[in-house]
Structure 1
C-alpha cells in the first residue's frame, strides 16, 4: 500500500491533479478554494488541511471577470457586463459618446421643431399612388385592367384612373403595330414536301397584329408561339397540295393566300384575338444536298422553254405572213371579178417581169427582129474595153 500511495501522489504532482501548496488559478475566493493534498514518500496519509493564506496574497485573476481598476480595491467577485450593457454601448447614443455602432444621420427638423420624416413618408405614398392609379395610354395602345388578377375592363388610348396596386393593375399592349414572325429563324432549313414528292426549302414571313386584347392576354398561354405553330401547319398543308414547279414558279401568290386564310380560320377557332395581315414567301430553294443537281435540271428546263418560245414566235410570224398574203389575194380577186381581162393581163405582165428579171436573156417578140439578142454578153464585153481606154 505504501508503494501504491506514493505512485498516486507522484501521478498527481506530474499531471497537476493535486497542486500541493499552490493557489487556484481562479482566485482564492475568500479562502473557500478547495485545498490540494500531497502524499509523502513515507506512505503517511495525505494532509487535507489547507495552508494559511498570506496576507494580501492572491492567486491569478479569473479570466471571465472584467478588468479591475488600479485605484480601487480589488474585488475578485465582481460580476461581468450583462446584455443590456452590451447593447447600450453599441447604440452610441449616450452622453459619453463611447458607442462603437454606426453613426446614422438624422433628418433636419422643421422650423416648428417637428421632424420631416412624416412629410417624406407622405410624399413617397402619394408618388406610389400616382404611379399605380393614373395611367397614360398611347394612341396605338390599349390596356387591360385586372382586379386581384381577374379581368375587369379594357382601357382605350388616353388617361385612365384605376384603384391602386395590389387591388388593380394595368397591362398595356400595342394593338395597331404590325408584328412579324420569320419562319425559320436565322439561317435554318425548313424542308416541306410537295404534291409530286419533292422537297423544298421554304422561308416565309407572317405579318399579324392584335384584334382583341382581352382574348390575346387571357385565352392562350403563349399567343406568339401559337401563331408560329399555326403558320407552319398551314404552310405545310398548302405546299402539300401543289407541285414543285408551282411552288418555285408562278404559284406563290395563291399559296400565300391559302396559308393566310387557313391561319385565320384556326386562330378564330382558338379565340386568340389575333388577325393575320399577310404571308410572304421569301425563298424557295431545293435542299442543300441536291442543290447542284437541281440547278442543272433547272438550267435544262430553261433551255427547253427558250426553244419552245422561239418556235412559237416563228410559227406566229409565219402565220401572220400567210394571213397577210391571203388578205392581199382576196383583194386582187375582188378586182379580178370587176374586170377579168384587164386583171388577167396585168397579172401576166407582173409574173413575167418577176420571172425574167432574174435571167440574162432578153426576148423581143416582133416579126422583123432577131429572136434573141445577146445583150448581156455585149454589155460584159463592153466593160473591159471601157476600162482599157
Structure 2
C-alpha cells in the first residue's frame, strides 16, 4: 500500500525521509547536506568539524571553503607559471602565436608567454637534419634504375617553417621526389651510373631549393648526396655486361690516345728537325756562295795588280788541295833521271795503325808530314823549269 493512500499506516515513512504527523515534513534540508559535505572536506584538509550549534558550524564551514579555494587557485597559478616560463637555447628559436596569429620570434634566453591565449613553437635552427630516399627512376633513354639519395637540410626561417606549410618535412620529401625524378628523367643511363652523379646532385639541390622557396617552407638544403645507382635485380647481370663492355671501350680509347700521344710528338719532332736541317743547309749554301763571290772579287783585284804571282799562287794552292787528299806520293829523282819511287803510304799507315792502335793519331800525324815536303819539292821543280 502506498504511503499516502487512505487507511495506510501513519507510522510509515514517506519517500522524503519524514514521518506523517511528525516534526520534519517535506524533502531533506539542502543546507544540512552541504554542511555535512563541508565538514568532511574540512576533515580532509585539516579543518575542524562542526561541534556546536548551527551558527558555529556555519562559520567554520565558510572559513574552510575560502581556504580550499585559495589552495586550488594557488596550485593552478603555480602550474600556469611553470608552463608559461621557458628557456630557449643558443641553437634554438621560438615562434609565439597570440590568438592564432603570429606575434613574435624569440631568441635565446629565459622567456615567458601566456597560455592558453599564446602558442609556442620551439625548434633547433642550426642542427643539420638528414632525409634519405631510394626509388626506381626512369632515365632519358627509357631504362629503369634505382637511385639512393640523401638530403641534408636545416631550418633557416622558423616563422615560415611553422606558419606557411602544415607539414614542411613531408613537403620536403615530396619535393625531393619530384626534383630527383625530373633530373634523372633528363639524364642518360650512362651518366647516372658513372661520372654524372656529381652533376646530378647539383641539379637536384638547385631544383629542390627552388621548390622549397616557392612553397616558403623556411628550409635550406645544404647538401644532396646521390650514391651509386644500380639496376634492378632482374636485369643486374645485363647491366654488368654493359658496364664491362663500356670499361673495355674506355681502356681501348686510353691505349689509342697513349699511342697517339707518343707517335704524334715524335713525328712532329722529326718534321721540325727536317725543316731545321733544310733551313741550315739553305743558309750554308747561301753563305758559301756569298763567301766565294766575295773571295773571287778580292782575288780579281789582286790578279789585276800582279797577274803572274797570282796565277802561280792559284796553281800551287790547287795542286796542294789535290795532292793533299791522296794517300799516294810520287817522288822523282834529279833532273834527267827517270827513276820513279813509289811509297805505299796507305799500307804503311794501316800496318802501323793495326800494330799500335793507341798511337794511331800520332802515327797519322807523322805520316802526313811527307806530303808537304813532297809538295815543296814539286814547287822547286816547277820553279826550275820556269827558269829554264
- TM (norm. structure 2) is 0.55
1:220 partner SS? coil
Map 1:12-27 → 2, pairs under 5 A:
none
CA contact (8 A) 1:132 1:169 kept: no
CA RMSD, aligned part only?
4.4
1:125 partner SS? helix
Q: Does 2:112 align with 1:161? A: yes
Specify the alignment match of 1:79 in structure 2.
13
| Mapped partners of 1:206, 1:369: distance in 2 | 91
1:284 partner SS? coil
Deviations 1:92-146 (CA, angstroms, capped at 9, x unpaired): x79xxxxxxx999723469xx9867456435423322322332211111111111
Shift of 1:266: 2.1
Specify the alignment match of 1:250 in structure 2.
195
In structure 2, the CA distance between the partners of 1:326 and 1:104, relative to structure 1 (3 Å rule), is farther
Which of these residues, 148, 156, 163, is aligned with residue 203 of structure 1? Answer: 148
| Mapped partners of 2:117, 2:283: distance in 1 | 106
- TM (norm. structure 1) is 0.55
Specify the alignment match of 2:374 in structure 1.
none
Q: Does 2:91 align with 1:129? A: no
**Number of aligned pairs?**
261
CA contact (8 A) 2:131 2:150 kept: yes
| Mapped partners of 2:138, 2:269: distance in 1 | 51
1:254 partner SS? helix
| Mapped partners of 1:308, 1:292: distance in 2 | 24
CA contact (8 A) 2:121 2:162 kept: no
Which of these residues, 128, 131, 138, is aligned with residue 181 of structure 1? Answer: 131
| Mapped partners of 1:76, 1:168: distance in 2 | 66
Specify the alignment match of 1:107 in structure 2.
45
Shift of 1:275: 1.6
| Mapped partners of 1:369, 1:149: distance in 2 | 121
5+ residue gaps, structure 2 = 2-6, 18-26, 49-59, 286-345, 352-388
Deviations 1:165-221 (CA, angstroms, capped at 9, x unpaired): 21222121222212222113xxxxx12122222222111111222222222212112
Shift of 1:293: 0.9
Specify the alignment match of 1:288 in structure 2.
233
| Mapped partners of 2:247, 2:273: distance in 1 | 39
| Mapped partners of 2:140, 2:347: distance in 1 | 83
Q: Which has the higher helix share?
A: 2
| Mapped partners of 1:329, 1:239: distance in 2 | 55
Which of these residues, 274, 287, 306, is aligned with residue 251 of structure 2? Answer: 306
Which of these residues, 120, 125, 138, is aligned with residue 170 of structure 1? Answer: 120
1:202 partner SS? strand
Deviations 1:29-76 (CA, angstroms, capped at 9, x unpaired): xxx79xxxxxxxxxxxxxxxxxxxxxxxxxxxxxxxxxxxxxxxxx89
Shift of 1:315: 3.4
| Mapped partners of 2:13, 2:230: distance in 1 | 93
Shift of 1:312: 2.6
In structure 2, the CA distance between the partners of 1:322 and 1:127, relative to structure 1 (3 Å rule), is same
| Mapped partners of 2:148, 2:166: distance in 1 | 26
| Mapped partners of 2:260, 2:102: distance in 1 | 73
